[in-house]
A and B are shown apart, each in its own frame.
Chain A
Amino acid sequence: AQSVAQPEDQVNVAEGNPLTVKCTYSVSGNPYLFWYVQYPNRGLQFLLKYITGDNLVKGSYGFEAEFNKSQTSFHLKKPSALVSDSALYFCAVRGLNQAGTALIFGKGTTLSVSS
């Protein structure tokens, strides 16, 4: 069965410091991995995805994520956090490239950036 784990309920960082939000996955076959961000009472906004190619993926708002096949991880990173980055972050996975396959989401990690 496909699954995604986000081991941290909350991550706290100071503005200007680097941030990491962790994600590990379990899928059969090649993983299609995604990161989304959600602000209060809003839908999900796409940040980045890994389908194939370079293991380091760059996305929106200065975020990046590194695909690590041996560790089955896809951690989200940003070199310098902003207070406005405070939000709920979801890692998600799809197993196969077929239309109609839904995303499986992790439980989410709340990022809190203090000034």
Chain B
Amino acid sequence: GAVVSQHPSRVICKSGTSVKIECRSLDFQATTMFWYRQFPKQSLMLMATSNEGSKATYEQGVEKDKFLINHASLTLSTLTVTSAHPEDSSFYICSASGLSAGSYNEQFFGPGTRLTVL
């Protein structure tokens, strides 16, 4: 099956710093990548959708200047949390879809990145 990786798996940073999270599709071309945020014991909330080579589409209430998303290639998307604050601490999960992975109907999820802002 299609594999998606995320790096790092866990990051701790000081308040005010920026953190970059990478999401890679390892064995298929990800036309579209999605970024989700999950609070403890809660569901995944979609933050943004990015299509390769285009600007990301952000969900209502998500600050695009704070959560910078880049999808420059068919195998890599990055999420940068700028000037992170403790309230940004969360579990960030990416997913990817693409025809080369079988169909557009299915998303393949990364293992997630645990961000802790001190």
Contact = CB atoms under 8 A, between A and B. Distances in A.
B32 A43 contact: no
A32 B36 CA distance: 19
Contacts of A105: 43-44
Interface string B1-24: 100101000000000000000000
Contacts of A67: none
Interface residues of B, number: 29
Q: Chain A, interface size: which category?
A: 20 to 34
Contacts of B77: none
Contacts of B93: 43-44
Interface of B: 1, 4, 6, 31-32, 34, 41-44, 46, 49, 51, 91, 93, 95, 97-99, 104-112, 114
Contacts, number: 64
Given A99-B32, A100-B49, 10 more contacts: A36-B109, A41-B91, A43-B93, A43-B110, A46-B1, A46-B108, A97-B105, A99-B97, A100-B32, A103-B34
